[in-house]
Amino acid sequence: MVKNLKSISLAFMLVIVGVFAFGFSSQASGRFEMTVKPIGEVTPGADAIFTVTVKNNTNNTYGAKELAFVFGNLDDADDMSSFSWLDSEGVITGPEEPSVVIYDKVLAPKEEVVFTFAGTLPITWNEDSCITVFAFYNYGARMLELALYSDLPYSDVSSADWYINYTTLMYQTQIMTGMTSDTFGGNVKLSRAHFATILWRFENMPEAAYDASKFPDVPDGTFYTKPVMWANNNNIITGYENGKFGAADQITREQIAVMMYRYAEFRNLDTTSADVLGSFPDGNKVSGFAGEAMKWAVHQGLISGNGNGTLNPQGTASRAECAAIVSRFLLGTLEDFNDYVEGFAAEESETEGFAAEAFAAGESVAEAFAAAGF
């Protein structure tokens, strides 16, 4: 069963730093990297130390006091109040808020920095528990990256894998499940049927009546029957020119862009974009049917270039790539998620909510946190 996104306290972490007013910086996704790792064993009720490795793989220089990091938990049952950042050179911790740390040095391109926080794990720690760390820039106006740590059941995913954070988020929300109970299959190519199922899970798996006239190659009673019927009913999937859906076909990067674009339209999200395809040497190879969708997906940061700088629009996508694209969409543009964050922020504003106006006034990160009472 898909976990209701409104039930996870990830929204609380977004509220803390005022992201409800400014949004997610999708442009930095996949280039500003973070990982959270425990030092030693993770045992419920025991002391634990976690390191956060931050890699600036961009060409950007982040000035002193321009970066802020916040840790927290996804499961409301877990009490993280005993944890705090460990003071070190170049770090400013919030005077009254131990979950907030501000980097007081310049982070140059290709540079790496490691932070540490420690405390006592809640006795409730289990497979649903998850530690989150957010990186924010420019007075909280942009979220650069999200790192997560949980007890993943997948034996084929390690903290060294570039998609560890995205896999963890997919596992926590159950929007994208594993190949088996203990394998994720990050390098396995994704089928069109599986991607339709992922979008269907965004909607908490609604009912959809079978219609044999829709696609001749979609039978009744398969795992993808309802997802395809639902997606077609809402113009998210239209199929091939020959009338077939192609359930077993490996999905291409531009097909993912089209389905995500149509899903965004279905949710009445902003689908404006910029003509960014010219920055890729193969940008002119995007198929006509996918042009606008690919512009939107690249502009939003959902799809970025490969390691060789190409867009590879007709290239097939792996499960790891899909997890990254879906995670970025979830964090950046999903209307229900953002609406919940804003609603939560409105409630918190009367008590101990974060003073987002301090950011808007152009104060430093440290001053803004101080103004918020941290």
Q: What is the pLDDT of residue 363?
A: 41
**E-assigned strands of the chain?**
32-39, 47-56, 67-73, 84-85, 91-93, 100-103, 112-120, 130-137, 142-150
- In degrees and rounded to multiples of 5, residue 242 shows phi and psi of -80, 5
CA distances 361 to 95, 96, 119, 310, 358, Å, are 21, 22, 34, 40, 5
Nearest to 232 by CA among 269, 257, 194, 200: 200
Higher pLDDT: 274 or 106? It is 106
* Look-up of token digits 């720690």: 125
Q: What is the pLDDT of residue 288?
A: 93
Architecture of domain 5-176+336-371: Sandwich (2.60)
Q: What is the pLDDT of residue 360?
A: 37
**E-assigned strands of 88-218?**
91-93, 100-103, 112-120, 130-137, 142-150
The mean pLDDT value for 202-213 works out to 92
Higher pLDDT: 28 or 99? It is 99
DSSP state of 63: P
Query: Taking the mean position of all CA atoms in its chain, how far away is CA 198?
Result: 14
What are the extents of the domains in the chain?
A: 5-176+336-371, 192-329
280-287: Cβ within 8 A, 24+ apart? 280/305, 280/309, 280/310, 280/311, 281/309, 281/310, 282/310, 282/311, 282/312, 282/313, 283/311, 285/311, 285/313, 285/314, 286/254, 286/311, 286/313, 287/254, 287/313, 287/314
The mean pLDDT value for 99-124 works out to 91
Distance CA 168, CA 360 (A): 32
Higher pLDDT: 179 or 58? It is 179
- Tokens coding 345: 């922020």
Give 256-275 pLDDT, tens digit per residue: 999 999 999 998 888 888 88
Give 1-22 pLDDT, tens digit per residue: 344 443 444 443 443 333 333 3
Give 46-86 pLDDT, tens digit per residue: 999 999 999 998 888 999 888 888 888 877 778 888 998 98
| 62 in Cβ contact with 137 (< 8 Å) | yes
CA distances 319 to 43, 224, 323, Å, are 30, 17, 6
pTM score: 0.78
Average pLDDT across the chain, whole number: 79
Distance CA 174, CA 187 (A): 19
Distance CA 170, CA 324 (A): 9
Q: What is the pLDDT of residue 258?
A: 96
The percentage of the chain sitting over the pLDDT mark of 70, rounded to a whole number, equals: 77
Name the range with the highest mean pLDDT among 270-284, 308-322, 347-361: 308-322
Lowest average pLDDT, out of 20-24, 89-93, 259-263, 361-365, goes to 20-24
Helix (H) or strand (E) holding 330: helix 319-332
